[in-house]
Amino acid sequence: MKHIYNYNSLDFDDDLNIKHHNRSFEINVNNYNSKKLGIMIVGLGGNNGSTFLASILAKQKNLNWENKNGKHDINFYGSIYEYGSINLGYKNNVPVTKLFKEVVNFRNIDELVVDGWDICKDNLYEACKKNKILDPDLLKKLEKDLIKIKPLASIYYDSFIAKNQKDRINNTKTFVNDKWKDLFNIKSDIDSFKIRHNLEKVIVLWSASTERFSKNNWNNWSELSKAISRSDPEVSPSTIFAVASTMAGAIFINGSPQNTISPAILELAKNNNTFVAGEDFKTGQTKLKSVLVDYLASSGIKPLSIVSYNHLGNNDGRNLKEEDQFRSKEITKRNVIDDVFEENRILFNNKKPEHEVIIKYIQAVGDSKRAIDEYFSELFLDGKNTLSIYNVCEDTLLAVPLMLDIIMFAEFLSRVEITEIKQFDKKIKYSNLNLLSLFFKSPIIDNETPLINSFFRQRYGLENFIKICSGLPINDFINLHSRS
């Protein structure tokens, strides 16, 4: 079914006189076929990857389990796909809502097939046991299935992740000084997975250890292909996975903070009629920051400094002990306030707040991250306001529902066709799934896309797009019709 979206583009002069440019777009959502959807996770044996696979398997088998708090089912709390609702309007002044997945045709969890790569050869039962996320009763019920699943051998370039990860590396297939061979080896894995399971589509999701930033940001595919040909030391493993995925026609999603998705990757994805998204999952501490900084600025309160500290004891925290890997994470955590600053320059007096990010590895706390944030702001008559937030969360249990959201929304958005209605209709060909920015600390944008980090603007953008795809009017909270 096709729907029309009308956009009013504006030009402003210094006196705020406006010139209107009307543009209309036709939105068409294609149905998916009866084949299943493949998910390949880079870092399958890590906390996120192993817990995601185990949870999907438990959901598909309709398992429940017991712990000291009683009996439980797999519920994916924290997932917008599962529980996110859309306001459709009002009936007798009472809001009418439906879930996202009730409004348009999303995939179902039962249609997912999961596999992936890891630099550690532990089978998924051993991985889950080491990661200590699942309750023992649930792990026992999944043991026979998980023990049969072994990650595919991955690629490893030692300058990109922390040296303290070397004791985990026993499952690699890196060709020395031949990154093209590495690339086609990964592509072959994707192609074989798709054929073996008779899949309609494959989504490759990077959930492996944070890499250091690459020193190069290739501007086009010609530059990057030459760099791969000469096995340039700045071509990272995640770049190889991104290129292999797009060449295989798969969707590539970067869930870590390194600068993987360069203009060259966007170009290659567009040429291969596929998509990319990223970067760095936005789960707990940074998601809250994207809400609070917007709240302060929207209230006319001037943030002067933001200091974020956390410590955790999982392997992600261990990898971030080294400076280069921490720097990647620090950049994405800091960037999350950029759009609020740009839109409130008078309030900020053109000076960004002091913004400090500190992460420590404390093995004892495991996956239970401790986060402390202080927001120090200026009020009327030089008054000061301090917000101190102490947040304890299960890091992986926030990330896995987010991974489900990214996968389900990415698959849906890949079926959306957008055509600009002119004298000659022009189909919009895009590769960047920037509507997924809600789920990332550092959303990938291209030259024509404004950066949006603020949580609720991201949420309403995604919600309004889903409403357009179903022929519903977009959000309007003015409700003039209801005023007497």
Q: Is 150 marked active-site?
A: no
- What CATH number did the domain enclosing 392 receive? 3.30.360.10
Q: Is 369 marked active-site?
A: yes
User: Choosing from 182, 189, 280, 339, which is the catalytic residue?
Assistant: 280
Give me the half-sphere count of Cα atoms (radius 13 Å) on the Cβ side of residue 181: 6
Both 109 and 202 in one domain: the answer is: yes
* Residue at 274 is within a domain: yes
Q: Which of 396, 424, 456 is the last residue of a domain?
A: 396
| Domain of residue 351, residue span | 285-396
* Residue at 252 is within a domain: yes
In whole angstroms, what is the distance from residue 355 CA to residue 308 CA?
A: 8
Structural domains in the chain (count): 2
CA distances, 321 to each of 177, 212, 264, 349 (Å): 28, 12, 30, 35
For residues 268-295, average pLDDT: 90
Give the whole-number percent of the chain exceeding pLDDT 70: 93
In whole angstroms, what is the distance from residue 256 CA to residue 331 CA?
A: 12
Whether the pLDDT of residue 444 is over 60: the answer is: yes
pLDDT tens, position by position, 282-325: 988 888 888 999 999 999 999 999 999 989 888 778 877 777 77
Whether the pLDDT of residue 96 is over 80: the answer is: yes
The rounded Cα 163 to chain-centroid distance in angstroms is 26
Give the whole-number percent of the chain exceeding pLDDT 90: 63
Both 212 and 69 in one domain: the answer is: yes
Rounded to two decimals, the pTM is 0.92
Both 155 and 232 in one domain: the answer is: yes
What lies within 8 Å, CB to CB, of 25 at 6+ separation is: 4, 5, 6, 7, 418, 419, 420, 421, 428
Both 200 and 270 in one domain: the answer is: yes
For residues 139-148, average pLDDT: 97
Both 294 and 354 in one domain: the answer is: yes
pLDDT tens, position by position, 200-217: 999 999 999 889 889 888
In this structure, are residues 217 and 240 in contact, taking their beta carbons and an 8 Å threshold?
Answer: no
User: Choosing from 141, 287, 333, 441, which is the catalytic residue?
Assistant: 441
Supply the pLDDT for residue 14: 64
Residue 10 confidence class, pLDDT cut points 50, 70, 90? low
For residues 340-365, average pLDDT: 91
Supply the pLDDT for residue 453: 86
Whether the pLDDT of residue 1 is over 60: the answer is: no
Both 177 and 254 in one domain: the answer is: yes
For residues 241-247, average pLDDT: 97
- What CATH number did the domain enclosing 166 receive? 3.40.50.720
> Which two structure tokens, joined as six digits, stand for 233?
């030391």
Supply the pLDDT for residue 329: 66
Supply the pLDDT for residue 396: 92
How confident is the prediction for the chain on average, in pLDDT? Answer: 90
User: Choosing from 121, 141, 329, 333, which is the catalytic residue?
Assistant: 329
Of 89-93, 134-138, 329-333, which one has max mean pLDDT?
134-138
Both 88 and 133 in one domain: the answer is: yes
User: Choosing from 141, 270, 369, 467, which is the catalytic residue?
Assistant: 369
Q: Is 329 marked active-site?
A: yes
pLDDT tens, position by position, 28-72: 999 999 899 999 999 999 999 999 999 999 999 999 999 999 999
* Residue at 385 is within a domain: yes
* Residue at 474 is within a domain: no
Whether the pLDDT of residue 425 is over 90: the answer is: no
Whether the pLDDT of residue 252 is over 80: the answer is: yes
Both 214 and 263 in one domain: the answer is: yes
Q: Is 294 marked active-site?
A: no
In the numeric block, the tokens 């291969």 are attached to 272
Angle formed by the axes of helices 237-247 and 263-271, to 10°?
20
